[in-house]
Homo-oligomer: A and B are copies of this chain.
Amino acid sequence: MNPEKSKKELPGTDFDLEEFLPYLLNQAAEATSLSFQTIYAEKYGMTRTQWRVLANLGKFGSMMAKDICRISHVEKSKVSRAIAALESAGFLRREVKADDRRAEGLHLTPSGLDAFRKLGKKALEYDRELRGRLGPAEAKRLVVALRDLARLQSR
């Protein structure tokens, strides 16, 4: 019988984008990011990087720019510009350290803390929705796999 594949394909490689893990990861990341993005973008005028910086400050309290870089694996110029934007939006305050005047301590303002709380609440709801879609067991397995893959280089 030797049935042909229904899709027309050129010879020379078996490669299929739809089976390529980096591509599938990207598609899932994009899809899950988009609906949450509308919340921080439309209601708070934030970019994804700004939201990440806010989330780190919300979680850890006060920290320096380089800490955010290390923890969130975001490139330093992105962090620097996100900090500047969050500051001029009134979400964040900087404070030059007395003992080392190269470094700045970053803190959320009351307005920034409020934004973090509201966005954090929405994020938790959304995350529960996603995990509910997968089921709790699959969601846990997914998290383990993603953490493993993310360990690949960390930039």
Contacts and interface: CB of A to CB of B under 8 A. Distances in A.
Given A134-B145, A138-B145, A139-B21, A151 B31 contact: yes
Copies of this chain in its oligomeric complex: 2
Given A7-B60, A19-B127, A28 B149 contact: yes
B61 A20 contact: no
B148 A21 contact: no
Interface centre among A25, A150, A152 (most CB of B within 10 A): A25
B61 A10 contact: yes
Contacts of A124: 13-15
Nearest to A33: B22
Contact of A27 (B119, B123, B150): B150
A26 B155 CA distance: 13
Interface string A104-133: 000010000100110111011011001101
